[in-house]
Every structure is written in structure tokens, then in C-alpha cells.
Structure 1
């Protein structure tokens, strides 16, 4: 029986690494073969499922930090479900396990769970501070970009955790990107989940972003908590608790 996986996580949180590892190990994550590296623009994303995600969210090619509203079923919901199932049948036709990776799936997971009831989820998160630093590394960018990155981090990871909580334990796994890069036990846990050895594509040096929280970020976190009710620190604690519980 074919097994279908989806990788859920905020942008810049290790989703590409996981998709690359699965694809190289016999779980088809993209259409065809793409020999480009990550630095050359290969994000190991399946174009067909990503295209459907964009249509579901009506976001076109909008910047990822601005795509933050979860999918809401409309009058065409049944048609979209049928489209997703037909797409899945087409992908599965040649045989073999397969999956798809798109950070936007954190906002559309309820749709995919309805379309594909046996879907297995691989959830991964990275510290908010590290993700924020990625988006603010270029000094010419607007000072508001840090707050937008934190807002997106919260909404994507909130959606990811909701997907995790709503999935049966046998069909879900939660990983922390920073830990996965250096801890072989986490790689073994992932291998046990997918039931096969995985090509180890980890490069610890890629974790270049510090998780230390500076003064500006503290101000941004306080503003998001006070004005939008988005408590970054509380969500990080919930993620850490879920991870600890899963590890036992």
C-alpha cells in the first residue's frame, strides 16, 4: 500500500532538508529529477501540490511572510477535494511511497487531511529567533520585517501544531531542526517513522542563525503579544513540550 507524507513547517525551518532526504531515499517528493542544489534554487517542492495550495489560499506568488491566512472552505470545496484526490491518484499511479513539502500546507492541512485521510505528517520547527534572523539579515530591509517574520512564524507553527494534535500518534512525528542537524538519535527516530534508512544529507554548518533573543526582537514579541494576541514564547514552550512528550 502506498504511503503519503506531507512535511509541515515554517519557511527556513528544515523542510527542504527533510524533503531532500526522503526523496533521495525512495520517497518521491518532487516531479522527475532535479539535480540542482538548495543554493541553486532547488527547494524539493512538488509543483502540482504547491500549485493547488496557492489556489486554495488565493495567494498567487505573494511573499511568504504575507501569506498567513488559513484556508477556509468555500462553495467550491467539494470540487477542490475531488481535484486533490485525482492529483494524488495520478501521482501514486506508478507505485511507491510519495509526499509533498510546502510550508503553506501549515495553513491548508485540514483540507489535505480531509482529501487524504491516511496522510502521515512530518512536522519540523526552528526557533523563532533563528527564523527571524534569516529574514532580517540584509540591513537594507525595512525594520518592520522582523515583526512580520515573527508573526508568520507564530501563525505557521500554530497551524503546524494544530495539524500535529489532530493527527493520530502513529501517523505523526515532530522534530526540531537545530537538534536534528547534530543528533543522530533524531535521525534514527525519523527513519523509524518512515520505516526505511535515509540518506543523511545533514550539514550542521547550515545552522548559521543564532537563537539568542536581542532587544529589538523582545520589543517585537511584546508588541505581537499585546496588540495581536500572538505569544511567541508560549508557542515555543508548547512545541518543546510536545517534542519532549513524543521523545518520552
Structure 2
């Protein structure tokens, strides 16, 4: 069972129709999104109520269940799910109203963040709800993701790689539209921690040095370095994302 903890925005912030800033952490399942989100939370990103433990991630996936439930509902209403994405999901008026109500629950937050891989499938709707939404992204070697998904839910490799491609193609599409930081979870620990701290500074979070405190290498399973044997389009997309990540913050 997941455990959840609520962190509160700074005292004295005025209430409004929603948070002053909204940050989405975007990435495929099992790709380091939890680690990045936890790092940014440690640096002062307000997440609301989020999961801090589950059987496959001892530090929790850092997801706010209300956002996950909203995304699941939209996917289901479009005839799909996280592992069977609909081709062109549509937000209905009721979905938009639910999203606005969810943001209103965090009125007064200076900067609210949320992480849910499903958001990549539905992100055009979020841009309609909150046009100035900010984005950060992360990706991971496709074989490492496939092995992790097989370990967690016995997902066949072919399906896992197809999902990796679907989600990360959406990540690259959003990047090309908006130019935001994209980190690679395959980096050496010291480099990843440094990049997380730089990202916290870029986001103007209040406790930037603490971004490096969350990462624990012992929690990271499945590392891959070779792309041999991958479908060509998966190799190509991984190479494109590596190019993006090497640009760092200077490419934003």
C-alpha cells in the first residue's frame, strides 16, 4: 500500500483560483520520474499530498493520487489506459472542470508540481487549463525500462518497448514545442545529482542545494548502455533524447 504525506506551501501566500505556478514532471513509467520529483520536492517544490512508499519504490513514486485519478478517468473515458494509450484522447468539459477544481484546492501555493507519466498522453489538455504550465522531463534507456516493467508487472518486452516509444515520442514532441530541461536517468549518480541541483536553481526553488539529497543509487535497478537489438525507431528516439539532454539548460 502507498503511504502519502502532505507538504504545505509557505505561510502568508495569498489564496487564488489556483497556484501561481504549475510545474509538470514528464517522463515514461520506470524512467526516473520519481527520483527527479523527489529531488525537486526536497528543494522546495510543493506537491500536495503524494505517495512516499510503495513495494517497487521504497521512497515512493511522489505522485499526487488526485492527478493520477483524473488522468485515469480521462484515459478510460477515451477507451484506453496507461498501458493501452488512446490515439487521440479528448478532454471533455467534465474533465476540464475536475482539473480546475484540483488546482483550486491548491490555491495560494506559490509553485505546485505534479508527476504522473500518464500526463504525457494528455498534456495538450493541461496546456489548455493552465497555459503557462512549466515542464521538465526525464528519460531512461529503453531496455532498462522494459526490464523494470517486466519485473513489476511481467509485461512482455515488445509491449514495453512499444510503450517506451509512445511515451517518449510525446516527450520529444512537447520539447520541440516548448524547449524545457530534459534529464537522462542513465547518467552517473554524481552527474545526475548535479543536474538536479541545477534544475532546482533554474526553477527558482527555495532550497536548491537539497535537490541532491534524495537520490540513492541502491534504489536504482536495471542499467543498460547498449542499444543493439532494439527496434530502429526506438534506437533513433533514444539518440534524439540523448542529444536533447546534452544541451542542458542552455537549450531552453
Counterpart residue number, 2:7: none
* 2:181 partner SS: strand
Q: 1:206 aligns with which of 216, 219, 244?
A: 219
Q: TM-score, normalised by structure 1?
A: 0.78
Structure 2 contact 58–219 (Cα < 8 Å) conserved: no
Structure 1 residue ranges without an equivalent (≥5)? 226-230
Q: 1:232 aligns with which of 229, 234, 239?
A: 234
Counterpart residue number, 1:151: 162
Distance 2:247 2:165 in 1: 21
Distance 1:137 1:47 in 2: 23
* 1:124 partner SS: strand
Distance 2:128 2:47 in 1: 20
Counterpart residue number, 2:246: 244
Distance 2:52 2:97 in 1: 32
Structure 1 contact 8–160 (Cα < 8 Å) conserved: yes
Matches within 5 A, 1:31-180: 31=49, 36=53, 39-40=57-58, 42-58=60-76, 64=82, 66-73=83-90, 77-91=92-106, 93-137=107-151, 141=154, 145-167=156-178, 169=179, 172-179=180-187
Q: Judging changes above 3 Å, is the alpha-carbon distance between structure 1 residues 110 and 70 closer, same or farther for their aligned structure 2 residues? A: farther
Higher helix share: 1
Distance 1:133 1:165 in 2: 28
State the 1:54 CA deviation.
0.7
Distance 2:245 2:48 in 1: 28
Counterpart residue number, 1:228: none
Distance 2:66 2:96 in 1: 14
* 2:122 partner SS: helix
State the 1:9 CA deviation.
0.5
Q: TM-score, normalised by structure 2?
A: 0.77
Distance 2:51 2:240 in 1: 37
Q: Judging changes above 3 Å, is the alpha-carbon distance between structure 1 residues 84 and 180 closer, same or farther for their aligned structure 2 residues? A: farther
Counterpart residue number, 1:192: 201
CA RMSD of aligned residues (A): 2.9
Structure 2 residue ranges without an equivalent (≥5)? 1-18
Distance 1:201 1:68 in 2: 31
